[in-house]
Amino acid sequence: MYVCLCNGVTEREIRQTAHSGCRSMSELTMRTGCGAGCGSCVCMATEILEEIHGSGEAVANAA
């Protein structure tokens, strides 16, 4: 499923990036471009990062 339509980033790609060490939304944006366009994907992408690394951690590191 596509999470970021602007940059063509899929849920699978976000999960792979998270498993390879990405822990914040800002890092995810740098690595994949997710969230760099309209921003409507940020909430879902953050939820995926939190699911993998634990609740609240991705949000805290995104600021």
Chain centroid to Cα 6, Å, comes to: 14
Measure CA 5 to chain center.
Answer: 13
Dihedral sign, Cα of residue 31, residue 53, residue 48, residue 17: positive
Specify the pLDDT at position 61: 47
Q: What is the pLDDT along the chain (63 residues), one digit of tens a residue?
A: 999 999 999 999 999 999 999 999 999 999 999 999 999 999 999 999 999 998 655 544 444
Please tell me whether residue 51 adopts helix, strand or coil conformation: helix
In the chain, the domains with their CATH numbers are: 2-62 (1.10.10.1100)
